[in-house]
Amino acid sequence: MKNDKNKKEKFYIHNRIFWILLVTILWYLIIFGLPFDLLFFDENSPIMSMFGAKTADVHDPVLFVVLFYLSTLPAFIGVLVYTRFTKRNRFIFDSFIPGHAGNTVKKLLLGFLVGFIMNFSCIAAALIHGDIRLHPEFFVSQIPFYLFAFPCVFIQSSTEELWCRGFVYERVNVKYPLWVAILVNSLFFAALHIMNPGAGFLPILDIAICGLSFSLAKWYTGSIWFPMGIHTAWNFTQNLVFGLPNSGLESAASVFRLDTPAAAGSNLIYDHSFGVEGAIPAVIADAVLGAVCIILAAKQGRLGELKKSMGE
Contact 293/217 with Cβ under 8 angstroms?
Answer: yes
Q: Mind listing the pLDDT tens digit for each residue in 113-142?
A: 999 999 999 999 999 999 999 999 998 999
Percent of the chain with pLDDT over 90: 66
Q: Mind listing the pLDDT tens digit for each residue in 175-205?
A: 999 999 999 999 999 999 998 888 899 999 9
pTM recorded for the entire structure? 0.90
Alpha-carbon gap, residue 70 to 152, rounded angstroms:
5
Encode the chain in three state secondary structure: CCCHHHHCCCCCHHHCHHHHHHHHHHHHHHHCCHHHHHHHHCCCCHHHHHHCCCCCCCCCHHHHHHHHCHHHHHHHHHHHHHHHHCHHHHHHHHCCCCCCCCCCHHHHHHHHHHHHHHHHHHHHHHHHHCCCEEEECCCHHHHHHHHHHHHHHHHHHHHHHHHHHHHHHHHHHHHCCHHHHHHHHHHHHHHCCCCCCCCCHHHHHHHHHHHHHHHHHHHHHCCCHHHHHHHHHHHHHHHHHCCCCECCECCCCCCEEEECCCCCCCCCCCECCCEHHHCHHHHHHHHHHHHHHHHHHHHCCCHHHHHHHHCC
What pLDDT is attached to residue 10? 63
Q: Mind listing the pLDDT tens digit for each residue in 46-66?
A: 666 666 655 555 678 988 898
Q: Which residues of 53-85 are buried (b: 16+ CB within 10 A; e: fewer)?
A: beeeebeebbbbbbbbbbbbbbbbebbbebbee
Q: Mind listing the pLDDT tens digit for each residue in 216-269?
A: 999 999 999 999 999 999 999 999 999 999 988 888 889 999 887 655 667 899
**Local confidence band at 5 (pLDDT 50, 70, 90 cut-offs):** very low
What pLDDT is attached to residue 187? 97
- Which residues, at least 6 apart from 151, have a Cβ–Cβ distance to it below 8 Å? none
What pLDDT is attached to residue 11? 63
Q: Mind listing the pLDDT tens digit for each residue in 27-36?
A: 998 888 777 7
- Which residues, at least 6 apart from 239, have a Cβ–Cβ distance to it below 8 Å? 153, 245, 246, 249, 251, 254
pLDDT at 282 over 80: yes
β-partners of residue 136 are 256
**Local confidence band at 9 (pLDDT 50, 70, 90 cut-offs):** low
**Local confidence band at 1 (pLDDT 50, 70, 90 cut-offs):** very low
Contact 107/223 with Cβ under 8 angstroms?
Answer: yes
Length of the chain: 312
What pLDDT is attached to residue 239? 95
